[in-house]
Amino acid sequence: MRFRTRAALLAVVLLAAGPALSGCRGPLFGRPYEYEEDLTLNLDGSATLVVNASVPALVVLRGLDLPASRMARLDRVKVRELYTSPYAEVLRVNEWVRDGRRFVGVRLGVPDVRNLPKARPFSWSTYTLVPAAGQHVFTERVGASAFRPGTLGNVGWKGDELVAFRLHLPSRITFHNARQFDTNEPRSVERGNILTWEQRLTDRLDGVPVEITVRMDSESILYRTLWLFAGAFTAAVLVLGLLIWLTVRRGARAEQQT
């Protein structure tokens, strides 16, 4: 009985960890996207960018010369070369299979996101990050894709696939224009100052633009947290010092009285 219980628990853990281990987003980790750019931004413009996408999406959306067939071997070295530029450093490349299609994940270090459109895989976007009235304003506009009719055969797309552009922001958000793509209702800020803009793959193929605007404090959350920690630590040291001084003083008075 004990062995069966352990086996069942192990199966549950492996089932939950499967999508994370493979690098793709399963139902337990949010919506699965056919193409996703996940940007972690700093106030100086530096960033970490993760691209998770099916190989067919990379072929038709970005015009990358990659084999779209599931049976074809994916050359990670070539993927690295396609994403390497003076404007982004490839940190990691991984791959997995989902829904009969091969997916690739590329993690990049970006010195300045404003220069990123000079790199071919991101030439469809423009980025700005400027200080304004005590805040920082970030904008991104994703324009036309590289899609050309007849570029790709049937790869199993059903027409309901999604693309996403996600931002991890460094400070308190005061305004954003992220909305639910299906209801057009304002989208809530997710945990850790995260915002997501979604679009149907069919609209992305047609080049329907994605307009992203965010206003945020010019002081990062980390910076503020460090100051709060430093203040709390200083206060604790002062209180401890005061207690030690009071203890020593009381001891001195007791000795004088005796």
Burial-class residue 39 by CB neighbours within 10 Å (0-12, 13-18, 19+): buried
In the chain the first and final C-alpha atoms are separated, in Å, by 72
Residue 30: which pLDDT band, with cuts at 50, 70 and 90?
A: low
Is the pLDDT reported for residue 125 higher than 90?
yes
**Distance between CA 34 and CA 88 in Å, rounded?**
22
Is the pLDDT reported for residue 60 higher than 50?
yes
pLDDT tens-digit profile of 146-167? 998 877 878 899 999 999 999 9
Spatial contact of 164 and 25, defined as CB atoms under 8 Å apart? no
Cα angle, residue 87 at apex, residues 82 and 91 outer, rounded to 5°: 60
Question: Which residue is associated with the tokens 């990062």?
Answer: 220
Residue 24: which pLDDT band, with cuts at 50, 70 and 90?
A: very low
Q: Where are the beta strands (DSSP E) in the chain?
A: 35-41, 47-54, 89-98, 101-110, 125-132, 135-142, 162-168, 173-176, 194-200, 210-217
Quick check: helix, strand or coil at residue 193? coil
